Amino acid sequence: MSEQIIEISCNNLDEIYSFNKVAKQASGAVLYKCGDAVLLAAVAIELKPVEEDFLPLTVQYIEKSYAAAKIPGGFVKRETKPGDFETLTSRIVDRSLRPLFPKGFHYPVVLTVMVLSTDSKVDMQLAALHSASAALYTSDIPVSKAIAAVRIGKVDNEVLINPTLQEQENSTLDLLVVGSGEDVLMIEMCVNASNEDNQQRVNELDEDELLDIIEMSQHSIATATKDYENGFQSVKKDEMDLVLTDEKSDEKLYNYIADNYKTEVESAIQSMAKSERNSELKSIEERIIADLEAKGEEVDRELVSEMLHAYKKSIVRSLILDKNIRADGRALNEVRPISIETNILPSVHGSCLFTRGQTQALVTATLGDSKEAQSYELIGSKTSLYETFMVHYNFPGFSVGEAKRQGPPGRRELGHGNLAKRALEPTLELSRDYTVRLVSEILESNGSSSMATVCGGALALRAAEVKTEKLVAGIAMGLVTEGDKYAVLSDIMGLEDHDGDMDFKITGTTDGITALQMDIKLGGIDIGVLKDALHQAKDGRLHILEIMEEALENMTPSQALPSSIVFSIDSSHIPAIIGKGGGTIREIIEKYGVSIDIDREANSVKITGSSKEGVASAKEYIDNITSTPTKRQMDYEINKQYRGKIKKILDFGMFVEMPDGYDALLHISKVSKDRIESLEGMYKVGDEIDVIVLEQKGKKVELCTPDYLF
């Protein structure tokens, strides 16, 4: 087939799709263009299905340096592992496309999106979503729907659809909605803080306002997907005749389990912890197999396991829908018991052990100066960018009872850490000049460890005395539907996540939502159901925040917190503080174990150290340097001897008042040829002393004693 070019303009985007031009051996491929951005999306399928019951979909979004006319930095001049933005974008595309595949599709699929040319004005995540959808929809893989994505911004209280990147920088809202037709499939949202009349605002979003914006997004998505599906119809390949895997089913075996083991299964679901429940279900499975073998029947162990878990799932859902009973006995809107301990790690700046039910997160906060920020590059940026607030999430195997080594963070870890970062960052000071790193170690997991990270992270920040505008809490909501019946669940545990129809994570303060993430397993969600979920989540969030506030009342400061002080100086003293070749400032840093930042524009000095005594001594040293007059009445003759008076004696030397009243430093190393450890007992303040001027450079005068020279 010859090349076909399709142009689509919708929702402030002008897009060009070229089919049958590149990657023709792939199952589907498209060359996508928006502005100067060019992306190649290609999808390939392995025709041998996997035996496991899941969709083996792999999405990889790849940025190449040449796309921005750059050569990769570092020693190796070749792209290696993906950056965080690439990983997070891959995850967004995966979560958006996964619901489109038919049930029972178990064929390995790899969807690759490569950035070939970049444009600093183009939203690369929207470009990746649309190009990937076009490649998949027009391929020979049996996917019958296209998706569309809209990003919503809010500038000067005006809601914008697909704002430019410049508008996004000034936006107080970042909302990404992906859907197909009227169905919303995925939502990601966060707010941005702003300064208004010198007052910082978090800019939380009210639940009802969010619903209105999502409804508006639905209309834009419906229009766009209709345009895509109509526009791509002429290039859509004939679908392959693939065998979809039916769920293993045996009605007779299922009914046997229901008739003979109902009480045991319900007991395992309702009255046991996660590990005990799994053990008991395994024990029930063995008893079923033993009973059947005793009757002389041939037993398929895998089929027994499938039918038992299918029956377990039906019991979980029917208890919720018919009796409003959850597996652990909670009400549908009830949050599990919460316990909080702060600053339990003595050598850490701030720490919080947050436990909710069988989910536990140990979150630590570490403070550093601005130089310790994480540097990174975006493909469209011309300079390096710096991340001064980091959230790192770790999920070791033992947290769910698995015996496996802990490797580097994967997509899930990066995604959960990013969600927590977006939830908490709007509450931090915009003008802070230091770096904060939060690390969440998940010690136990049975439902939404990312929301435990948000709660523990907010408290760890306070424990480290980081100024935040408000506390932030997070809660995970679930959904169970059957026909017209549905039930919204607050604070879902792992069982309800696995057997339910929605995973909806919402974070916020007492005044509104700061971030959210929603994935739908149904293929769409009714706006009325979403409204119920948001308002029920608000009640749960306020309950958690109340417990968090109580925990702060009993918090004791960490003994490991660094001490810092900021003070102003005269700009003329800056060279003296730094010293020749940086010698003076290095000496202060090494002697007192501090870090020193000099702001030449603000004429200020910031001293930070682990010891308050060290910080105070370093300031005293600098005060003595800056207390000397900035102008002298005379120039000194080099190698000439003068008579001066001792004004102050310190560990590192003494200040000598010269004949013109200028206080010059006589360093301890220049008092004698022999090494002197201390001046104590040798001199006292007010003594007159002979000194020789060794050097005069600008305002700096270097002295020694005659004993040092002769």
Same domain assignment for residues 424 and 505: yes
Packed helices 527-553 and 207-232: angle between N→C axes, nearest 10 degrees: 140
Count of CB atoms within 10 A of residue 686's CB?
8
Structural domain includes residue 558: no
CB 418 within 8 A of CB 84: yes
Please write the tens of the pLDDT for every residue from 590-612.
Answer: 888 898 988 888 888 988 887 77
Tokens of 562: 């660094």
Same domain assignment for residues 41 and 102: yes
Which of 626, 652, 668 represents a domain boundary (last residue)?
Answer: 626
Angle at 707 between CA 705 and CA 710, to 5 degrees: 115
Same domain assignment for residues 95 and 205: yes
User: How large is the C-alpha radius of gyration of the chain?
Assistant: 33
Q: What is the pLDDT of residue 300?
A: 84
Same domain assignment for residues 285 and 396: no
Same domain assignment for residues 313 and 346: no
Structural domain includes residue 570: yes
Structural domain includes residue 632: no
CB 125 within 8 A of CB 39: no
Query: Over 90: is that where the pLDDT of 101 sits?
Result: yes
CA distance 595 to 577: 13
Q: What is the pLDDT of residue 494?
A: 86
Residue with the bigger pLDDT between 77 and 16: it is 16
Average pLDDT over residues 215-219: 93
CB 162 within 8 A of CB 151: yes
Average pLDDT over residues 287-295: 88
Of 88-102, 542-556, 560-574, which range is least confident?
A: 560-574
CB 441 within 8 A of CB 362: yes
- Return the percentage of the chain with pLDDT > 90, whole number: 53
CA distance 265 to 319: 12
Which of 626, 649, 680 represents a domain boundary (last residue)?
Answer: 626
Q: Per-residue confidence at 501, pLDDT binned at 50, 70, 90?
A: confident
Of 481-490, 502-511, 518-527, which range is least confident?
A: 518-527
From residue 106, how far is each of 52, 243, 245, 656 by CA, in Å?
8, 9, 7, 84
CA distance 367 to 478: 36
Q: What is the pLDDT of residue 606?
A: 87
CA neighbor of 540 nearest in space, from 447, 444, 460: 447
Query: Over 90: is that where the pLDDT of 238 sits?
Result: yes
Same domain assignment for residues 271 and 182: no
CA distance 147 to 56: 20
CA distance 203 to 190: 10
Average pLDDT over residues 10-34: 96
CA distance 443 to 452: 11
Which of 553, 574, 601 represents a domain boundary (last residue)?
Answer: 553
CATH classification of the domain holding 491: 3.30.230.70
The residue segments making up the domain with residue 379 are: 338-553
Pairing of strands 374-376, 385-387: antiparallel
Average pLDDT, whole number, for the chain?
90
Structural domain includes residue 27: yes
CB 577 within 8 A of CB 585: yes
Q: Per-residue confidence at 362, pLDDT binned at 50, 70, 90?
A: very high
Same domain assignment for residues 226 and 94: yes
Structural domain includes residue 246: no
CA distance 453 to 211: 26
CATH classification of the domain holding 306: 1.10.10
Same domain assignment for residues 64 and 127: yes
Query: Over 70: is that where the pLDDT of 283 sits?
Result: yes
Same domain assignment for residues 576 and 604: yes
Same domain assignment for residues 162 and 303: no
CATH classification of the domain holding 610: 3.30.1370.10
Query: Over 90: is that where the pLDDT of 333 sits?
Result: yes
Structural domain includes residue 97: yes
Q: What is the pLDDT of residue 221?
A: 95
Instruction: Kindly give, in sequence order, each residue whose CB lies less than 8 Å from that of residue 230, ignoring residues fewer than 6 positions away.
Output: none
CA distance 259 to 131: 51
The backbone region for 462, taken as left when phi is positive above 0, alpha when psi lies in -120 to 50, beta otherwise, is alpha
Q: What is the pLDDT of residue 523?
A: 66
Query: Over 70: is that where the pLDDT of 628 sits?
Result: no
Average pLDDT over residues 13-24: 96
The residue length of the chain stands at 710
Same domain assignment for residues 46 and 142: yes
Buried b (16+ CB within 10 A) or exposed e, 646-680: bbebeeebbbbbbeeebbbbbebebbeeeeeeebe
Tally of structural domains, the chain = 5
Query: Over 80: is that where the pLDDT of 115 sits?
Result: yes
Across 467-536, the runs of DSSP E, i.e. the strands, are 473-482, 485-490, 502-509, 512-520
Structural domain includes residue 634: no
CA distance 391 to 437: 6
Highest mean pLDDT among 82-91, 301-310, 691-700: 82-91
Confidence (pTM): 0.81
CB 681 within 8 A of CB 675: no
Residue with the bigger pLDDT between 113 and 614: it is 113
Same domain assignment for residues 173 and 110: yes
Structural domain includes residue 248: no
Q: What is the pLDDT of residue 272?
A: 60
